[in-house]
Amino acid sequence: MPNFSDPRFEHMRTYMTGEYPYVQVFDLELGKIHARVRGWVQGELFIEYPPNGARLVYNGRLDVKWVPTLAATRIRRADSIWRGTEDDPTWHQREDAKISYWADPWTASLPESD
């Protein structure tokens, strides 16, 4: 649970609902994960991600944490191992077309369902 008294929240810039970009993050605690960016301050992203490596469409409780921007790489929604149900597919399709980076192949080797 985040500490919402954290001063970063006072200055955090956010995205519109349904327009949260997906990122591949390398975190010392979590390892490599796929997450969505809910907001940012200079040098840090506030991300959300499913617990326990949930895959495919996920609409349950999400874990959150701050990570350095240098630990994250923007990825296409289609390349993420999970997707939120409230995503705006038109926005993601338009924005994802701008991304030249391809997410790590570890995502493609996962089973189609749990």
Task: Label residue 5 by pLDDT band (50, 70, 90).
Answer: confident
Convert the pLDDT of each residue in 42-86 to its tens digit. 999 999 998 876 677 777 788 999 999 999 999 999 888 888 888
Question: By three-state DSSP, how is residue 28 classified?
Answer: coil
User: Residue 84's CB: how many other CB atoms inside 10 A?
Assistant: 18
Q: CA 21, CA 110: separation in Å to the nearest integer?
A: 21
Question: In this structure, are strands 56-58 and 82-84 parallel, antiparallel, or unpaired?
Answer: parallel
φ, ψ at 75 (rounded to 5°): -130, 165
SS3 100: coil
Question: Residue 111 falls within a domain, yes or no?
Answer: no
Is position 61 within any domain? yes
What pLDDT digit, counting tens, does each position of 18-46 carry? Answer: 999 999 999 888 888 899 999 999 999 99
Domains contained in the chain, number: 1
Residue 113 lies in a domain: no
Asked whether residue 107 is domain-assigned, the answer is: no
Residue with tokens 């191992």: 81
Tell me which residue range forms the domain holding 63. Answer: 8-98
